[in-house]
Structure 1
C-alpha cells in the first residue's frame, strides 16, 4: 500500500467513525426511488451472462439450477437511451422446480446526484411471472448505511426468445 492509499484509508475510516458517533442522534429517513433495470442476455455485449448450470437444467421447464451474473444499467425511464442512474450488479439463479422463481442477490449502485456512490443490497425471491414482486433490502452503503426496506419489481418488457428484459423498480429504503 502506498502512502497516499494509506492516508485515504485512514481518512475514510475517520469519516465512518464520525458517522457512527452521530448515529444515536440521527433520525431515520425514508427514500423512495424509481428506475428501470435493463437485463440483456443477447447480442455482442450482454449485461448478464450464464456462469453455471446443473446437468438437468436444459430439461427443466423452470431452468432449475441456472446461475447468471449481471452488471445491468439502471435508467430513469424504460428506454435504453434514458439517463443512466446507476448499475445493478449481482447474480440470480433459478431456484424453483415447479414455478420459475429466481433467487436474486444484487446491489443497486447509484451514480448520480445525492446518492452517487451509495448502494442498496437486495436479497430475495423474484417470481418473474408474477405481475408484481417484492424483495427485501437487507443493507446499504454510503447514504444508505444500515438500510432496510423493500423493492417492488414489475416486468415492463420481456423477450421470451432472447431472455432480455426491462424491469421497473420502486425502492422504499429506510436509512439514516
Structure 2
C-alpha cells in the first residue's frame, strides 16, 4: 500500500504570508483593481484621483524599464572589451617588443592606436604601424621618452654654479 506524504496536506502548508518590501507594477495593478472593485457605487472615485494613480503607475513602469536598460548597458559594457578600451583610439602607446625566435626583449616601440578589436574576450589594439597588440602589453600611454634615450631634465644634484 502506498502512503501519502503528510507534508502535502493542505493543513500542513504554510499559512503565513511573508510581506515584501517592494511594490512592483503587478502589485500596483492588483491594488488599483481591488480599489475599483470595492469603491462605493454612490460616490465613485474622482476622475482626477484615477488619472493621478494611472500617471503614478506609468511613471513606475518607465522607471523600471529605465533601470533594466541601464543594468543591461552596464553588464554589456563590462563584457565587451571593445567598449571598455574604445577611449584609447588616437592615443600613443608604448609596448615591449620581443625577438620571435629567441623570445628575448628587443626594445620598446611606440605607435598610435587606430582601432580596438576583440580576440577571445581580450582587447586587441590595432596600431598605426600595422602591429596588433593586446591591451595588457602596453607599458605607457602618451608621448614616450623610453625609446628616444632622453633622460629629461639635468640632475639637480649635479648643477654647475655660474657667477
TM-score normalized by structure 1? 0.21
Name the structure where helix makes up a greater proportion of residues.
2
Name the structure where strand makes up a greater proportion of residues.
1
TM-score normalized by structure 2? 0.22
> Computing the radius of gyration over CA atoms, which structure comes out larger, 1 or 2?
2
